[in-house]
Structures are given as C-alpha cells and as structure tokens.
C-alpha cells in the first residue's frame, strides 16, 4: 500500500512526509499533474539485522538428548 502526494505538496512537506514514511513503513508515490513521476520508499535496515525469531529454522540436522551423558562411564580413563 502506498500514499499518493502531489509534487507541490511533497516539496512543501518533504521532511514531514519522510518522517511519516519511516514511521508507517509505507511508500509515497509522487505525482505531477496527476501522473506518477517518482516513488519514495523506506530504506532497508542499515544494520542488516533480521529478527532472530525463526532465523535458525530448518538448520538443525540432528537432535540428541541434551541430558544424556556424553560417554558411558566405563569409557572414562580416570583414576578413582
């Protein structure tokens, strides 16, 4: 979804429209005499970070029981 603004209005309210666009994350179509001439859209996140929720989805190849011992007791070569 995008907002449509005439070129004259965009010129007069440029900074406010940019702030509103960043807040709404919505593009602005700039028109001249009713015809679209430009589209202003929000820039991607400069940090390049995505949400960590779901970031590792599908990456687990095998799941072992984390509470089971790493090795059997008789495999240890320890002095008692």
Q: Where are the domains of the chain?
A: 1-43
Classify 51 as helix, strand or coil.
coil
pTM listed for this prediction: 0.54
CA distance 57 to 75: 35
Length of the chain: 80
Residue 58 has what pLDDT?
A: 78
> Could you report the per-residue pLDDT of 48-63, keeping only the tens digit for each?
666 777 777 778 777 7
- State which fold the 1-43 domain adopts: YefM-like fold (3.40.1620)
């Amino acid at each position: 979804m995008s907002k449509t603004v005439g070129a004259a209005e965009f010129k007069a309210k440029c900074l406010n429209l940019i702030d509103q666009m960043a807040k709404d994350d919505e593009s602005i179509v700039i028109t001249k005499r009713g015809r679209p001439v430009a589209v202003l859209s929000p820039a991607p996140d400069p940090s390049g970070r995505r949400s960590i929720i779901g970031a590792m989805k599908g990456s687990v190849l095998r799941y072992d029981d984390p509470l089971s011992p790493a090795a059997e007791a008789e495999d240890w070569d320890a002095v008692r």
